[in-house]
Amino acid sequence: MNPQASQQRLWRWYPVWKRNALVWRKLAIPALLGNIGEPLLYLVALGFGLGALVGNVHGTDYLTFIASGFICASVMNTASFEAIYSSYTRMAVQDTWTAMLYTPLEVEDILIGEVMWAATKGLLSAVAILLVALGLGAVHSWDALWILPVSLYTGVVFASMALVMTAIARSYDFFMYYFTLAMTPMFLFGGVFFPLDGMPASVQMAAQLLPLTHTVDIIRPLTTGAPVENLPLHLAVLTLYGVASYLLALRLVRKRLHR
């Protein structure tokens, strides 16, 4: 392949991303209000309410502690919802992907575009919460800017995982399994609300297998300026989940659409 062709090949997913961005733009204002309003309510209620009972967690005030956790949970939720409900609608209900396959786009272009878009929405939600946290005094270091690329990367991972579910779903009801069996455990045991070191050892071990735990371990110190420990391990776990899920989703969607 000549360099120009491979350059084109590399960016072929971009129109897919842009299509989704154009649709989102039509409803951007209510979406952004939701992105900012909801974390504001949660952070004020839990940060100050629970914070008054909890006091400090490992030397950090509870509002700061939970704000960083919320960023991680929100990236997970936003990217997963997009790659589940919205992507499924485009694939199975609206035939948007089929129409794309009549053009020079291939299945991998569509999936990369969908993953990048879901990750972009995850990033937007992270930015919104970060701004709210900043306003409430829960951000203490310029390191917090690193939260943006980490959020985007986390979004890529969770979107890829969600696309595996989308690829095998026969109806919307199917997704309840994923929410109950995968996302709720991560939300509760990924270290979003409380540190895991108070948990039984077996639970702590199991939590290390969850990708969200590793995102939390990267993002939490970035809000306070503390050093991030075991960064290569956290990135490796996230990458493993992301790459394996993407390759599996690609295989499954190909099988579904190229029958």
By the rule CB under 8 A, 104 interacts with other proteins: yes
- Report the residue number, 15 or 185, with the smaller CB distance to other proteins: 15
Q: Which residue in 1, 2, 4, 22 binds other proteins (CB under 8 A)?
A: 22
For residue 26, state whether it binds other proteins (rule: CB under 8 A): yes
Total residues interacting with other proteins, rule: CB under 8 A? 24
CB of 96 to other proteins, least distance (A): 6
* Nearer residue to other proteins within complex by CB, 101 or 127: 101
* Helix ranges, the chain (H): 3-10, 14-26, 28-42, 49-54, 62-81, 87-88, 96-101, 107-135, 147-168, 175-178, 184-189, 201-207, 211-224, 231-257
Q: How far apart are CA 69 and CA 233, in angstroms?
A: 19
Between 100 and 159, CB nearer to other proteins:
100
Of 95 and 229, which has the nearer Cβ to other proteins?
95
- Distance separating alpha carbons of residues 126 and 124, to the nearest angstrom: 5
Site for other proteins contains 251 (CB under 8 A):
no
Closer residue to other proteins in complex, CB, 96/154: 96
Tally of residues, the chain:
259
Measured from the CB of residue 9, what is the shortest distance to other proteins in angstroms?
Answer: 9
CA distance 88 to 164: 11
**28, 41, 44, 99: residue in contact with other proteins (rule CB under 8 A):** 99
Task: Select from 7, 103, 184, 230 the one that contacts other proteins (CB under 8 A).
Answer: 103
- Residue 212's contacts (CB-CB under 8 Å, 6 or more residues apart) are 72, 73, 76, 186, 187, 190, 191, 192
Residue type present at position 56:
N
